[in-house]
Structure 1
Amino acid sequence: MSHSLTPEHEELRRTVEEFAHDVVAPKIGDYWERHEFPYEIVREMGRMGLFGLPFPEEYGGMGGDYLALGLVLEELARVDSSVAITLEAGVSLGAMPIHHYGTEEQKRAWLPALCSGEALGGFGLTEPDCGSDAGGTRTTAVRDGDEWVINGTKCFITNSGTDITALVTVTAVTGRKDDGSPLISSIIVPSGTPGFTVAAPYSKVGWNASDTRELSFSDVRVPASNLLGEEGRGYAQFLRILDEGRVAIAALATGLAQGCVDESVRYARERHQFGRPIGANQAIAFKLADMETRAYTARLAWRDAASRLVSGAPFKKEAAIAKLHSSTVAVDNAREATQIHGAYGFMNEYPVARMWRDSKILEIGEGTSEVQRMIIAREMGV
C-alpha cells in the first residue's frame, strides 16, 4: 500500500511543521516548566482550523480526514507533546463522539465551537477503580422525568478543566440487562452544571502544559436530551472512539520519536569530544540509525491504519499495532536521545528531557500496551 501524500496533505504537513518550529518551539518550554496551559498557542491552532480538520464544513469543520489529523499531530509532537495531546483529545475524544453519535441538534449546538478551537470537550471514561476494564464503570445516571441524575467520579480526563472547556461526555451505568450486566450510556455534561466539580490539575511526570483533572458528579442533573446516541450503547460507542483515537496517538508517538531523532542529530553534529563531533563515533551513529529506523516504521504503521480508517476498511487490529509499536518506539527513542545528550539530556532546558518525560504515558493512555496485545491477539482469532 502506498503512503505517499497528496499535494493537499503535504501542504498541510509543511504548514504545521513551520508553525511548530516558529510558534510552538520558542514558547512551549516556559509553559511546560510553569505547568501552564498554552491558551495563546491553542487559539492560534484554532484560527488555523486544526481542531476542525476531520469534520464536515457544515458544522464548522475543514472537511478533511484522519490522515490529515495524524499528519498534524506528528508534526506538533516533533516539537512538543502537550500541544499535540491537547489537539488530539480535543478532536478524537471531545468532538468526535458528538460527530459520530450526536443528534442533529447536538451537532449544531456543540460542534461549531469545538471545531473552531473556541471550546474544548473532554472524554469522561476512566475512573479511579476502572481503567483498562472500562466495562466496570461505577458512575451512574438515573432517569428522573426529563432529566438524568449523575453520580460518580472520573479521573485522568484531558481538557476537562480549562477556561474554554465547554463539556465532558461521560459514560455511566443507566440500567441492567436481564443477565445483570450493566447498560452503559454516554451523556453530555456541560461545564458549570451544578454538582459537577472539577478538581485542581494533577501534578504529572510529563505533558505538563496540558490539562488533566479528576471530575466528580454529585446529583448532577442534565436534560434527558443530553443522552449521546442510544441508551445502553455507550460502551460500544466509546470502543469505536478509542479505536480511532489509537491511530491519532500512534501519529503523536511517531512525532515524538522523530523529534528525538531531530534533536539528537543536531546535537551529534554540534557536540565535540576528543577533537571531533560525537556523531563521528560509530557508537553514536548506530544509535541514530536505529532511532531513525524505529521512527520510520512507526510512521508506516500509523499511516496504514489511517488509510484503512479513511477508506472504510476494518482497522481495529492495525490501529492497535500502530499504537503498540509507535508508543514503544517513542519510549526507546527518548531514552536513547537522553543518553546521546549525556548530562544535558537530563536538563529541562533541552527538548529531549521533556520528550523523555512525555514519552512513557504513550504506553498507558488510550489503552495500555498490554491491552493492545490483547486486541491484536483477538483480531487474529486467538
Structure 2
Amino acid sequence: MDFNLSEEEVLIQATVHELAQEKFKERSQKIDEESLFPEQNIKELAELGLLGSIIEEKYGGAEASTMSYSLILEEISQACASTSVIVSVTTMVGLAIQRSGNEEQKQNYIPKIAEGQTLGAFCLTEPNAGSDPSSMKTTAKLEGENYILNGQKLWITNASHSDIFLVMANEDPKLGRKGISAFVVEKSKIKSGTFTIGPPERKMGLNGSHTSAIFFDNLLIPEENRLGGKGEGLGIALKSLDTGRIGIASQALGIAQAAFDSSVNYAKEREQFGQAIGKFQGVSFKIADMKMKLDTSRLVTRKAAWMNDQGLNHTMESSIAKAYATEAAFDITAQAIRVHGGMGFSKELPLERYHRDIQATLIYEGTNEIQRLVISRNLGL
C-alpha cells in the first residue's frame, strides 16, 4: 500500500479544505443552533462536482478515487459534519444505481444526483427492522406493469430535500431477506397513491442534516423502477453500506481532527501556574492518546478506501474502519472538552457540538455492534 496521495487526491483535498474552512466553518454554528439545512454548502459542492465525486464521468460525476471521496468527507466534516452526512448519503444512492441499475436507469437518475439537481435518499430502516433488515414490513406488490408500495421507513436522511429515493421493499415476505427488492422512487413523477414525508426529527446532533420518517400508501411505481433483479434488494443495500461505512469513518476522522487541532492549539496558548497547560503531563498525555487514536483511525480508513480502489473485497475492512474511527472520535471529542475545561462545555466553542455530532456515527449505517458481527463472521466465527 502506497501511503502517498496522488496529485489529483492532493488537489481535491486542498480544494475542499479551502472551501470548508473559509465558508462552511463560519456557517456551521448557525446551522446547528437553528437546525438549518445547509443549502448554500450543498450548492457550492455541486458547483465543484463534488456530489458525484466517485460517479463515472459519463453520468456526470468526477470519477475520482474512493480515497478522494474519503478525503472530501473528512475535510467537510472538520467544518460542518451535517453537510458531510448529506453528501455521503447522496453519493451512496448514486453509486448504488451505477452499480446495480440498467443503462436507462443510470442515464435517467445518476446525472440528476451527480450534478446537484436533487439529492438522494437511502430507505432501508423501519420501526421493526433496524439491525435486522430482513424483518422489514414494507411491501411491493406487482400488479400488471406496476408495483404498489405500502409501508414506512424511519431515519431517512435528506428525505425532505430529495426527489430520488432508493427504497428496499419485500416482494415476497414469506422468503424473508430473499424476497427483498430495491426500487427507485422519483417523488416528482408519482401519479397514483401517496408518499408522505414526516417532519424532521429533533436530534441530539447533526441538526443541519434533516432526517424524517416516510410513508407509502398504495404508491404506484412502474415495474421498470426496480433496481436489479427480484430479491436482490438486500444485497444491493449491503453492498452500498460497504462504501458508505468508509464515508462514516471519514466523517468521524474529520470531526476528531477538528477537536484534536483545537486541543493542541489551546494547550499551547492557555497558561496556568506560569506555563502553558500543554507542559503538564495531565494534559499532554491526553493529547498524545488523542493523536495515537487519530492516526490509527486514518490508517484503517485509508486501507479500506485503498482496497475498494483496487477492486478488493473490503467488507470487513470497512466495518473495522467504521467501528474504530467512530469510537476513537467519541473518545477524542470527549477528551477535547476536558482539555478546554469550562470553555469546552460552553457553546462559545464547537467542542460540545463535535461530541454531539459524533454520537450518530456510532449508530447509523450499522451500529458498531453490527460491525463487530460483520468482522467476526468474516473471520469464520
Question: Shorter-normalised TM-score: what interval?
Answer: over 0.9
For the residues of structure 2 that align with 1:160 and 1:188, how far apart are their CA atoms?
A: 14
Distance 1:180 1:293, change over 3 A: closer
Structure 2: which amino acid aligns with 1:114?
Answer: I
Tell me how far apart the structure 2 counterparts of residues 236 and 182 of structure 1 sit (CA, whole Å): 9
Over 3 Å off, 4+ runs: 179-182
| Change in CA separation of 1:180 and 1:362 when aligned onto 2, cut-off 3 Å | closer
C-alpha distance after superposition, 1:12-39 (max 9, x if no partner): 1111111111011111111111001010
Deviation at 1:191, TM superposition (A): 2.0
The aligned residue for residue 122 of structure 1 is 121
- Secondary structure of 1:263's partner? helix
Q: Offset of 1:176 from its aligned partner?
A: 4.9
2:35 corresponding residue in structure 1:
35
Instruction: Report if the CA contact (8 A) 1:80-1:355 is conserved.
Output: no
Partners of 2:67 and 2:283 in 1: CA distance: 33
* Matched letter for residue 215 of structure 2: S
Match of 1:106 in 2: 105
Read off the aligned partner of 2:32 and give its amino acid letter: W
1:367 to 1:379, Cα distance in 2 relative to 1, 3 A: same
Q: Does 1:228 align with 2:227?
A: yes
Q: In the aligned structure 2, how far is the partner of 1:40 from the partner of 1:176?
A: 42
Identity across aligned pairs (percent)?
A: 36
State the match for 1:168 in structure 2. 165
Q: Distance in 2 between matches of 1:134 and 1:277?
A: 52
1:250 aligns with 2:249: yes
Q: CA deviation at 1:182?
A: 5.0
Q: TM-score, normalised by structure 1?
A: 0.96
Write out per-residue CA displacement over residues 69-124 of structure 1, whole angstroms, 9 at most, x where no aligned residue.
001111111222111111111102x2111111111111111111200122101000
| Equivalent in the alignment of 1:17 | 17
Amino acid at match of 1:46: A
What is the CA distance between 1:181 and its match in structure 2? Answer: 6.2
Query: What SS does structure 2 have at the residue aligned with 1:161?
Result: helix
Alpha-carbon displacement from aligned partner over 1:181-218 (angstroms, at most 9, x marks no partner): 65000111112434100000000000011111111111
Give yes or no for contact 1:123–1:170 (8 Å, CA) kept in 2. Answer: yes
Distance 1:180 1:298 in 2: 36
Contact persistence 1:263–1:351 (CA under 8 A): no
Code of the residue aligned with 1:292 in structure 2: it is K
Question: Do the aligned residues in 1 keep the contact of 2:135 with 2:176 (CA within 8 Å)?
Answer: no
- 107-116 or 179-188: which moved more? 179-188
TM-score (norm 2): 0.96
Which residue of 2 is the match for residue 207 of structure 1?
A: 206
- The CA RMSD measured in Å over matched residues stands at 1.3
Contact residue 13 and residue 72 of structure 1 kept, 8 A: yes
Tell me the residue number matched to 1:185.
Answer: 181
Equivalent-residue separation in structure 2 for 1:181 and 1:252 (angstroms): 30
Aligned to 2:65: 65
- Rounded to whole Å, the distance in 1 between the matches of 2:177 and 2:62 is 41
SS at match of 1:151: strand
C-alpha separation between the residues in 2 aligned to 1:344 and 1:307?
39
Structure 2 unaligned spans of 5+: none
Q: Structure 1: which amino acid aligns with 2:290?
A: M
The one-letter code of the counterpart of 1:191 is K
The structural deviation recorded for 1:7 is: 1.2
Matched letter for residue 112 of structure 1? P
Give, in angstroms, the shift of residue 276 of structure 1: 2.6
Task: State whether residues 161 and 198 of structure 1, in contact with CA within 8 Å, keep that contact through their aligned partners in structure 2.
Answer: yes
Q: State yes or no: 1:369 paired with 2:375.
A: no
Cα contact 1:98–1:106 (8 A) shared by 2: yes
Deviation of 1:67 after TM superposition, in Å, equals 1.0
Q: Secondary structure at the match of 2:168?
A: strand
Larger displacement relative to structure 2 (274-283 or 242-251): 274-283
Residue 3 of structure 1 and its aligned partner are, at CA, apart by: 2.0
